[in-house]
Amino acid sequence: MLQSIPTRIAGAAIVHQTPSRRADGSAVLVRRHHSQSPTGTWLPHEQIITADFAYTCEPSFSRKSVQRTLRCLGGELYACLVDVRVGSPTYGHWQSVCLCEGDARTLSVPAGVACGWQVLSQAATLELRSSCEIEARAWQWLRWNDRDLELQWPELPAQLANHVRPSRSLSSIADHRLPGWTSPKSDRHEHSKRREQVPTPEPRPRLAINTRAAPPKPERPKQPLILVIGSSGQLGRDLSRHLRSLGTVIGACRTPDKQSLLPVPMCVDISRPASLRQAIRQVRPTLIVNAASLTDVEQSEREPRLAQLVNATGPAVMAEEAQRIGASLVHFCSSMVFSGEGDKPWRESDQPNPQNQYARTKLIGTEAVRNSQVPHLILRSGWLYSTHGENYVRRLIDSLSYRNSITLADDHYGNPTSTNFLAGLTSQLLARATNAASQAEQSLGQWLSEHGGLYHAATLGMASRLEVGDQILTLCRQHGLPVVLQKLQGRRLSELPSSATTPANCALDPTRLAMQFQIELPRWQTDLSQQIDLMLGAHSLALSSVA
């Protein structure tokens, strides 16, 4: 049985090959049959190549209609696709895919798409099949450090294949650029500068076919495979960007964005447990990060069943599937699970007392993760905002330019926290956990079982909604934003219209996390100022493709 998963390159796909069984019980991988030409059946050309760590084959393509497939037989590979088909809707885009031994995945490359690869393990063996064999001079190669493409190899190539280049080889995709096409390097300007300073290394002799690599090198730790559930949301997008420094990130969401930064965005409906189970079993990640949540408090009251499925059942299913495949889990909780009484920030030891359907379902999901046997890290936060998506900070900035008066609650307290800070903090914690586990000769799961658990993750200091509004107003005026607002007035939370009970005090105390991991947390004013700088164009937020 074959299952095809499309990539961002039009026509390219990852083909999952389900093993069938012979009578003696051994496994057989079903392969695609090539179509027949008018002169008969095309006999595929097949190469079995073995190379050592960081060996890089630059992307190549042929003007002849040749389809190719790439499959990893041993070790781990990083495959890179580049669409050089003039007129293609994805022309000029590139796509990264990780292939490893035993995952039964084959990368299907359509005609006209360049394909290259790099070895990520100590040694790797790959099967490269093409629909027919063509002469070496008919292939054209892209430079590994092409400025227009900005191919981001996991390792800077130190070992390049010795390609036979024709006199009219493709030196840059600029030779085939469509009128009006914009280079994709604009959002990775800093990375481009570093690449330009790296000289192209001398090529090594081409590896022989069906031969073993030279003497083995020290074993390189295998990168974890990270599945981000809810990758299209505000927190999910920032997590996908930050977590790529730890391993290979695959995103899963209900409606993948066409401009997604994820290598293979998967369609997953978290409100359907079967869809969630299928995605986890299909990817088999080493780490699951749950960034999905129904955060609309009003909608949770109107649709309690949906809130139950997304906020409660979803995390429980993730914990169950993580335990089944031996993965770890990162989950995010809400500060609204407390009663809202008092004027002191809430600690991890305080007893939750949810006041609305959203908080109740979030607490149920969190307790399901805590009571499971899966190694986990739970970060409780609140009052999240980001430079993208719909949130209270962006809405208020937009309102300043056309509204004369705005009313905000002056007795509703919390910790304004950006998703960029929370995602960066999560990545930092996992990086420290990985390093500590490596020094103790443990896996990440073993370390999380001992040192993980529930932590409050937020910026320092607490503020009311009115105080946050005053700070936003001040920062916008400093940036020269046209402000027509005449009055920013405060009112009690109970006097504002709402169909759900909202706790007045949602402030969190993150002292335990800061002391446990020796992390210096910023104040909410500093974090807010940095994010508004980005929103108003004072800086550019570098969003790189997830490899």
Model confidence pLDDT, tens digit, residues 215-254: 454 444 467 889 999 988 899 989 988 998 888 888 888 8
Q: What is the pLDDT of residue 336?
A: 93
User: Quick check: 163 pLDDT over 70?
Assistant: no
Q: What is the pLDDT of residue 329?
A: 95
Taking residues 12-34, report their average pLDDT.
55
Q: What is the pLDDT of residue 353?
A: 93
Confidence of residue 539 (pLDDT cuts 50, 70, 90): very low
Confidence of residue 389 (pLDDT cuts 50, 70, 90): confident
CA distances (Å), origin 139, targets 51, 60, 61, 167, 410: 21, 6, 6, 11, 68
* Contact call for residues 35 and 6 (beta carbons, < 8 A): no
* Contact call for residues 166 and 221 (beta carbons, < 8 A): no
Taking residues 200-210, report their average pLDDT.
43
Considering only CA atoms, give the Rg of the chain.
26
Q: Which letter, b or e, does each residue of 123-133 get, where b requires 16 or more Cβ atoms within 10 Å of its Cβ?
A: bbbbebbbbee
pLDDT digits (tens, 9 = 90+) for 333-351: 999 999 989 889 999 999 9
pLDDT digits (tens, 9 = 90+) for 239-293: 988 998 888 888 888 876 544 444 445 788 888 898 899 889 988 999 999 999 9
Which residue in this structure is represented by tokens 């509703």?
412
User: Quick check: 470 pLDDT over 70?
Assistant: yes
Confidence of residue 190 (pLDDT cuts 50, 70, 90): very low
Q: What is the pLDDT of residue 451?
A: 87
Lowest mean pLDDT among 38-52, 202-216, 247-261, 343-357: 202-216
Taking residues 351-371, report their average pLDDT.
94
Taking residues 454-466, report their average pLDDT.
93
Q: What is the pLDDT of residue 499?
A: 62
What residue segments make up the domains of the chain, in order of their start?
2-19+43-196, 225-389+416-460+508-526
Lowest mean pLDDT among 443-457, 495-509, 533-547: 533-547
Per-residue tokens: 8: 């961002």
Q: How many CA atoms lie within 13 A of 193 on its CB side?
A: 3
User: Quick check: 431 pLDDT over 50?
Assistant: yes
Taking all residues of the chain, what is their mean pLDDT, rounded to a whole number?
Answer: 79
Q: What is the pTM of this model?
A: 0.60
pLDDT digits (tens, 9 = 90+) for 486-536: 888 888 888 887 767 889 999 999 999 999 988 999 999 999 999 998 888
Fold of 2-19+43-196: Jelly Rolls (2.60.120)
183 or 297: which leads in pLDDT: 297
CB-count burial class (<10 Å; 0-12, 13-18, 19+) for 259 = exposed
Taking residues 473-498, report their average pLDDT.
85
Q: How far apart are CA 221 and CA 215, in angstroms?
A: 18
Lowest mean pLDDT among 3-12, 54-63, 267-276: 3-12
Q: How far apart are CA 336 and CA 384, in angstroms?
A: 12
User: Quick check: 148 pLDDT over 80?
Assistant: no
Instruction: Give the DSSP letter string of 77-129.
Output: EEEEEEE--TT-TTTT-EEEEEEETTS-EEEEE-TTEEEEEEE-SSEEEEEEE
Q: What is the pLDDT of residue 39?
A: 42
Q: How far apart are CA 352 and CA 365, in angstroms?
A: 13
Instruction: Report percent pLDDT > 90 for the chain.
Output: 33
Confidence of residue 17 (pLDDT cuts 50, 70, 90): low
The top-scoring range by mean pLDDT among 110-124, 323-337, 390-404 is 323-337
Confidence of residue 213 (pLDDT cuts 50, 70, 90): very low
532 or 40: which leads in pLDDT: 532
207 or 164: which leads in pLDDT: 164
Tell whether domain 225-389+416-460+508-526 is in CATH 3.40.50.720.
yes
User: Quick check: 144 pLDDT over 70?
Assistant: yes
The top-scoring range by mean pLDDT among 134-143, 242-251, 362-371 is 362-371
Q: How many CA atoms lie within 13 A of 141 on its CB side?
A: 18
